[in-house]
Structures are given as structure tokens and as C-alpha cells.
Amino acid sequence: MPSTKLTSFLNSGLNELKDKGLYNVIHPLEGANGPKIQLEGKELINLSSNNYLGLATDERLKEVAKDAVTKYGVGSGAVRTINGTLQLHVELEEKLAKFKHTEAAIAYQSGFNCNMAAISAVMNKNDAILSDELNHASIIDGCRLSKAKIIRYNHSDMDDLRQKASEAVKEYEKVMVITDGVFSMDGDVAKLPEIVDIAEEFDLITYVDDAHGSGVLGEGKGTVKHFGLSDRVDMQMGTLSKAIGVVGGYVAGSQALIDWLKVQSRPFLFSTSLTPADIRASIEAIDILSESKELQERLWENTKYLQEGLKKLGFSVGDTETPITPVIIGDEQKTQQFSKRLMEEGVYAKSIVFPTVPRGTGRVRNMPTAAHTKEMLDEALSVYEKLGKELDV
């Protein structure tokens, strides 16, 4: 018989979330995650995907993925340290290292796994981690798993970081400073040049989560490359699931770092490796980005078009510097209502509310991609104009 305490806890918690407008409804897609999607029998303009460059549905990636399944099968069959390392894994990691301008790289099953694996493999209870207060949840969980002292510094506040760094190095064996390269809810970019200067002054380990920067900034090579800091950042993390369009993640850095992660990071040691199709498609995506800037240029063109259109209509997009385009509404209930009405009018843009963002900063998060046409964006802007007047936003 189910536990009455568990049932009571779950029901009361769910009801509270719904009452506060914090309950998230999941909508299963009825087809591919492209610039338009099929949902509940209706076609919608899709502004909620992290598929920045449209590679998730690219025919070139689909073809090589099929070939990989034919040759290698649907799964790798084991963890990397037994016999789950295919030659494809080696090729992918070599290409990632070259792409990120580092000595070596290691692939994981997801970006979340990267942060859980790499932070806890390097830091321990005798250490401290200086973490931007708006860092991604996976960074927070990776820091907790390491058992190091977590010291949050104010978002992109370099004076606060400097002060806390000067204090931490006196007390702890190793100190790491960790930041998102691009902050996923606001779209602003970390002040990496200043962070790296402070890190070198106090001998801090530098870790950049570039999930939303790789494929987007620095000619596609990421935030670290964007600032010309490839030889000054110790650890770069990226995903294969956003701009790359597939699934998985990686950490890039020195050969010694990657050798250490291969024998100490638990997701690498104890979880079955990426599938052949995922690896081969990721290799193809990296080759495409290495050979041409066309997709990045189209992404930024669409980004500018959408953001300028929203601003002209009177919407606030905050301080975004990237394709991440939040329309900040504030009130959680009104944010949820706005997102629901967008969907009813043919635009899919999800509401983001607490605890993903602070209370009172609810927003509808829009993600233009290289695959959108101007006609799609015009249609979305027309809906925004209509609903802005209707809901007084």
C-alpha cells in the first residue's frame, strides 16, 4: 500500500505549485524539433528550442547517424573503461580538443553529467569554489557533490569576486572560480577577461560552462575563444545537445586534466558511453562548424531581427547579449498566462518562473535559430503585439 505520508506530501506540494503559477506543463511534440513544431495537432512557430543552428534536423547529420547505426549498432554496449570506447569516441574527442584549442577533451553522456563529473573529480572537502550566483543548476549540484566549500559571489560582480577570492585562498588548499560563459535565463555573457585576471592573481582554477556559448560565440568555438582566452582557462565544459544539435557533453583542457578525469570522474567510469549515432552526428556537426560560418551568421541575423522587433513593440528583453531572448513580465501568473496565449495563437515560447529564475522575474524565453525564416519571425512578432495589448504587458 502506498505511503500516506508520501501521498500527502506530493499532493500538497503539487497543489501549492499550481496555486502560485509555478507548475510546469510538459507538451510532447508530434514530430521533429524544428523552427516549426507539431503539438496537439496544431503547427506552431517554435521559439523554445536550444537547437541554435538547426542541426538537430540537418539531413547531413541524419545520414551519418544512420550509417553509424548500420556499422556499430544502436548502443556502445559498455562503459568507456571496459569496452565501451569505440574509435568514434576517440575521433570525437580529438576533434573537440582541436575545436576548443586545448590539448585534449573527454566526452560525457550529457552536459549535466560533465559538471557533476569534472567538478567533483578535481575539488574536495579541503577546497573552495567561487560560484556566480546565477550559475546553472548542474554547476550547483556538481559543487555540492565535491563537498568543497561553496562561496557564491554576486552576479558578474568582479569586486565581490576579488574580495572573496583573496579571503578563500588563505583558508583552503585549492580554490576554483566557476561561471557560465553565457547565462541561460538572461542571455548575458560572463566577464571572462576580468575573471581570468583575478584567477591568475590569486592562483585560482578557472572553469567555464560554455553550454550556451559553444557554436554561438567566438566563430562557434565558444565564449573562451570569443575573448581570446583559450590558453588561460583551465577547464572548458560544453554540450553536444544545443548548437551541436545532438546529445552529450564534454570537458576540454590539458592532457593531464583529461587523463585524471578518465580515471576519477564517476559518470565516465560507471555509465554506458554515448551511442554510435550520437557520436558520429556530433563529429559531422563539428566538421560543419569548422568549415563554414554560414549557420552562425544566419543565427545572429535572426537574433537581431527578433530582438529589435520586440523592443519596438515595447517589450523588455533585459540585458541579453546572445540569441537567448527573455521577454520579462515579472508576475508568475501573468507570465504563465502569456505563454499559454502565445501557444493558442500559434507561437510556442515557454514561461520561465521561480525556482529557475528569482521570484518576481518571470519571463517568456525566446530562442531564435538559424532555421527560422523572416516570415516566421514576423508572424511571431505580430502575435506578441496582439497579446501585449490584450494582457497589458
- Coil, strand, or helix at residue 379? helix
One of 242, 273, 350, 372 is an active-site residue; which one? 242
Q: Which of 290, 305, 99, 317 is nearest to 210 (CA)?
A: 99
Catalytic residue status for 242: yes
One of 76, 131, 184, 214 is an active-site residue; which one? 184
Catalytic residue status for 212: yes
| DSSP β-ladder status, 325-330 and 362-366 | antiparallel
| Whole-number Å distance between alpha carbons of 43 and 256 | 50
CB 278 within 8 A of CB 240: yes
Q: Which amino acid, one-letter code, is at 158? A: M
Q: Which amino acid, one-letter code, is at 327? A: V
Concatenated DSSP letters of 244-310: T-SS-EEEEE-HHHHHHHHHH-HHHHHSBPPPHHHHHHHHHHHHHHHH--HHHHHHHHHHHHHHHHH
CB 327 within 8 A of CB 384: yes
Neighbours of 263 (CB within 10 A): 10
CB 130 within 8 A of CB 176: yes
Residues with Cβ within 8 Å of 253's Cβ and at least 6 positions away in sequence, in order, are 102, 103, 104, 105, 234, 235, 236
Query: For 64, left (φ over 0), alpha (ψ -120 to 50), or beta?
Result: alpha
Concatenated DSSP letters of 32-69: --SSEEEETTEEEEE-----TTSGGG-HHHHHHHHHHH
- 103-141 per-residue burial string, b: 16 or more CB within 10 A, e: under 16: ebbbbbbbbbbbbbbbbbbbbeeebbbbbbebbbebbbe
Element spanning 325, H or E: strand 325-330
Element spanning 111, H or E: helix 111-122
Taken as a whole, the chain contains a residue count of 393
- Residues carrying an active site annotation: 184, 212, 242
